[in-house]
Chain A
Amino acid sequence: DTEVTQTPKHLVMGMTNKKSLKCEQHMGHRAMYWYKQKAKKPPELMFVYSYEKLSINESVPSRFSPECPNSSLLNLHLHALQPEDSALYLCASSPRLAGPADTQYFGPGTRLTVL
């Protein structure tokens, strides 16, 4: 099973709302990633967790707050977002962080719209 699941599939929120995105994998992977993707653009890395610890934060604004409660679950908490944050948010996982030959497996994404 190489499945990464993400919920919700779609999310519409106002700029004052607080919401969370959820990602789950049961492949035993120890590296998990959040990406942001604008239309017709490649994914942009936001955060990387390795063994449930934040390893990489690509200078993401504090209105995005990641959390890794356990090795299978990754959350992205959203607060006071701006309309320009509207995008497809992708979660991915790989067996380990520093594995050059390792494949990243992507979830279907959450389409976020900020009004």
Chain B
Amino acid sequence: AQSVTQLGSHVSVSEGALVLLRCNYSSSVPPYLFWYVQYPNQGLQLLLKYTSAATLVKGINGFEAEFKKSETSFHLTKPSAHMSDAAEYFCAANTGNQFYFGTGTSLTVIP
């Protein structure tokens, strides 16, 4: 069965520090992977998506993710955290019929 696993339901980083949010997918999931961000009381906003064109994907707000087939991973990174990055982050896989969401990671940025 398709699945997406996000390691760490809560991540805290200091402002200016590296942000690393982890996402692993099951081997049966096709390589169409997405990261969404959700700010409080808002909908989901697309940060970036991988569709096999390039393994390093750049998204909005300085975020990027690298697809590593050997590790079945699609981790999200940002070199320097900003206070405005505090939000819930969801990794998702699209099988064509349905989106499979990870359980989400809540990012806290400490001033």
Determine the residue in chain B with the shortest Cβ distance to A10. B41
Contact of B97 among A88, A98, A105 (CB under 8 A): A98
Interface of A is mostly: loop
Docked pose: A88 CA to B101 CA in angstroms: 16
CB <8 Å contact, A106 and B96: no
In this complex, how many residues of chain B approach chain A with their Cβ under 8 Å: the count is 25
Determine the residue in chain B with the shortest Cβ distance to A58. B98
CB <8 Å contact, B103 and A42: yes
Contact of A101 among B41, B43, B94 (CB under 8 A): B94
Q: Counting CB contacts under 8 A, is A97 at the interface?
A: yes
CB A57 to nearest CB in B, in angstroms, measures 13
Binds A, one of B12-20, B45-53, B62-70, B76-84: B45-53
CB A56 to nearest CB in B, in angstroms, measures 7
Binding site for A on B (CB under 8 A): 30, 32, 34, 36, 41-46, 49, 51, 88, 90, 94-99, 101-104, 106
Evaluate whether A106 and B97 lie within 8 angstroms (CB atoms) in the complex, with A100-B32, A101-B32 already known.
no
Number of chain A interface residues as a range: 20 to 34
Evaluate whether A42 and B97 lie within 8 angstroms (CB atoms) in the complex, with A101-B32, A109-B42, A111-B41 already known.
no
Query: Which chain A residues (89-115) contact chain B, with CB distance < 8 Å?
Result: 90, 92, 97-109, 111
Chain B residues with Cβ below 8 Å from A90 are: 43-44
CB A59 to nearest CB in B, in angstroms, measures 14
Determine the residue in chain B with the shortest Cβ distance to A102. B94
